[in-house]
Amino acid sequence: MAEIDQATRIIRVKIVYYGPPLGGKTTNLRRLHALAVDTRRGEMISINSLQDRTILFDLLPFTVVGPRGFNLRLQLLAVPGQALYSATRRAALRGADGVVFVANSAIDRWQENLISYSEMKTHLIDHGIDPTAIPFALQYNKRDLPLVTEVGVMDLGLRSSPQTAFQAVANKGEGVIATFEAILARTLRDLSRKFRVLAMEDGRRPEQFAQETVTSLFGRVSPAEAGTAGTEPLVERFGESPLTIRVAVSGAAGDGSRGVARSPGAVAEAYAEACTELAGRLATVTAERDEAQAGLADARRALAIAGDLDRQDVTMTVKRMLACVAESAGAAHASFAFVTADGFDRVMGLPGDGNLLLESPGGRRYLQALAQADGPCVQEAACDLELFALLGEGERQLSALVSLPLRTTSRTVGLAVLYFLDDDPLPTPAALEHLELLASVFAAPLAMAVPAESAVPSDAPLVLAQAN
């Protein structure tokens, strides 16, 4: 079941890749990991036997922009296919939001597909999940083998819905992204029905959203382009391998042969569930570590910009500052004005969109109170008719802003305004605290750059003036 944290604006979604041994579940995840943009993917983790066969799971985390500006954290989990690890597969399906069944097209593996498919449905029912209702995608992998089961035969045995199965050659990337895009769209459609907060806005369809997400994850790599990557080893081609933990397992079938289930029992299943939960928590901790490292890099950048003020003019410093805070917040645009006794002065912004609210009388009136706030504030147009009207005056579909006052202990130096598009994730409370830290770094140096006699005390009313 998806986890939605409205305080941190994070959605956690779990998609399980299920199927027979040697079907290509891990290969799907490895190809997705290799093709993904570095900033969007987490570290892929594999727990394998000494023979490099999956014994617990492969975990691939992705972070993308979700509906309504939430951060969508996807956990893709590939289960081991060997009969010995039935308890692990059962545990992995607990709380699944979507399932991809990766079938092996090899003609001599057909029975294994049927057995695995039946087991998957049984495990889902055991967890109280309707196999016919859960978002589902079917992939026929290894279509390049010389002897393969006909697609019509596979459809008869495995397809339980009219949805098209995806033909794939996962080790070449063919069909991998198309399968992922389909299960993402189907999962988002299901979640938008269950949770009102995830309902799509502006009449957008989950398929369109999934397509945009795939573009953000994989850049310009299309499903067709992914299939031209060739058969080179992933590590050699892309330069980075997943974290692999190898464990000696007594009696594990390392040669791909059909094994005999060993009745793992409640203890083994509990162990598998604990490991799956720990893997999810590890992915979360890793994401938090990456965010902390990015925050530290922001702080260093801010200190360097502030330290350069005595060697460059104020306008250049402000534009570098705006770029720093806008990139940290993920904003589409940013503008800034000094706050003086006469109102807003010296309005400036990043290239591309003008300075929006700070350039209009109505916008400056709206920002008057925000300039005197104790810290950054998030304002959403959907909840504020005045802001909705003001943002509607521009050419871009802006939906929210963050006001960021730059204050010293005695006065308000200036106001930075960060603007967000409809699909941009809005800053979390932790991100707002980080923006406030960056503002404190810039406030004192900029305070020395403007005449103190024209500045407005932090507790004084603001008189509006025309921007120059």
Q: Is residue 465 in a domain?
A: no
The answer to whether the beta carbons of residues 224 and 177 sit under 8 Å apart is no
Three-class SS of residue 404? strand
Helix (H) or strand (E) holding 360: none
The answer to whether the beta carbons of residues 79 and 25 sit under 8 Å apart is yes
Please report, for the domain that includes residue 405, its CATH number: 3.30.450.40
Average pLDDT, the chain: 76
Better-predicted residue by pLDDT, 365 or 278: 365
Residues 118, 266 within the same domain: yes
4-8, 363-367, 456-460: range with lowest mean pLDDT: 456-460
Q: Which residues contact 340 (CB under 8 A, 6 or more apart)?
A: 450, 454, 455, 456, 465
pLDDT value of position 108? 94
Q: What is the mean pLDDT of residues 52-75?
A: 67
What are the φ/ψ torsions at residue 283 (nearest 5 degrees)? Answer: -60, -40
Give the chain's length: 468
Residues 278, 342 within the same domain: no
Q: Which residues contact 163 (CB under 8 A, 6 or more apart)?
A: 136, 137, 138, 182
Residues 245, 345 within the same domain: no
Residue span of the structural domain in which 79 resides: 3-289
Q: Is it the case that residue 232 has pLDDT exceeding 60?
A: no
Q: Is residue 467 in a domain?
A: no
Q: Is it the case that residue 192 has pLDDT exceeding 50?
A: yes
Q: Is residue 464 in a domain?
A: no
Highest average pLDDT, of 90-94, 139-143, 300-304, 410-414, comes from: 139-143
pLDDT value of position 58? 62
Q: What is the mean pLDDT of residues 313-318?
A: 82
Q: Is it the case that residue 220 has pLDDT exceeding 60?
A: no
Q: Is it the case that residue 1 has pLDDT exceeding 90?
A: no
Q: Which residues contact 281 (CB under 8 A, 6 or more apart)?
A: none
Q: Is it the case that residue 15 has pLDDT exceeding 60?
A: yes
pLDDT value of position 47? 54
Residues 279, 327 within the same domain: no
Which pLDDT band holds residue 283 (cuts at 50, 70, 90)?
low
Better-predicted residue by pLDDT, 170 or 161: 170
Q: Is residue 295 in a domain?
A: no
Residues 374, 452 within the same domain: yes
pLDDT value of position 286? 72
Q: What is the mean pLDDT of residues 355-380?
A: 81
Which pLDDT band holds residue 263 (cuts at 50, 70, 90)?
very low
Q: What is the mean pLDDT of residues 353-361?
A: 69
The string of pLDDT tens digits covering residues 371-383 is: 888 889 898 888 8
Highest average pLDDT, of 13-17, 200-204, 208-212, 280-284, comes from: 13-17
Q: Is residue 462 in a domain?
A: no
Residues 264, 190 within the same domain: yes
29-33, 62-66, 71-75, 205-209: range with lowest mean pLDDT: 62-66
How far is C-alpha 385 from the chain's CA centre?
30
Q: What is the mean pLDDT of residues 48-60?
A: 52
pLDDT value of position 134? 93
Which pLDDT band holds residue 214 (cuts at 50, 70, 90)?
confident
pLDDT value of position 352? 56
Please report, for the domain that includes residue 87, its CATH number: 3.40.50.300
Q: Is residue 129 in a domain?
A: yes
Residues 246, 324 within the same domain: no
The fraction of the chain above a pLDDT of 90, given in percent, is 20
Residues 260, 118 within the same domain: yes
Q: From CA 279, how far away is CA 57, in angstroms rounded?
A: 9
pLDDT value of position 268? 58
pLDDT value of position 462? 37
pLDDT value of position 98? 93
Q: Is it the case that residue 414 has pLDDT exceeding 70?
A: yes
Q: From CA 161, how far away is CA 167, in angstroms rounded?
A: 16
Question: What's the Rg (C-alpha) of the chain?
Answer: 27
Q: Is it the case that residue 177 has pLDDT exceeding 90?
A: yes
The string of pLDDT tens digits covering residues 78-135 is: 888 777 778 778 888 888 999 999 999 999 999 999 999 999 999 999 999 999 899 9
Q: From CA 43, how far away is CA 60, in angstroms rounded?
A: 7
pLDDT value of position 467? 34
20: DSSP letter:
S
Q: Is residue 66 in a domain?
A: yes
Structural domain total, the chain? 2
Q: How many Cβ atoms are within 10 Å of 255's Cβ, its own excluded?
A: 8
Q: Is it the case that residue 202 has pLDDT exceeding 70?
A: no
Q: Is residue 355 in a domain?
A: yes
Residues 280, 322 within the same domain: no
Q: Is it the case that residue 203 has pLDDT exceeding 80?
A: no
Residues 265, 327 within the same domain: no
Residues 319, 276 within the same domain: no
Residues 267, 320 within the same domain: no
Which pLDDT band holds residue 238 (cuts at 50, 70, 90)?
very low
Which pLDDT band holds residue 147 (cuts at 50, 70, 90)?
very high
pLDDT value of position 45? 63
pLDDT value of position 30? 87
pTM of the model: 0.63
Q: Is it the case that residue 76 has pLDDT exceeding 80?
A: yes
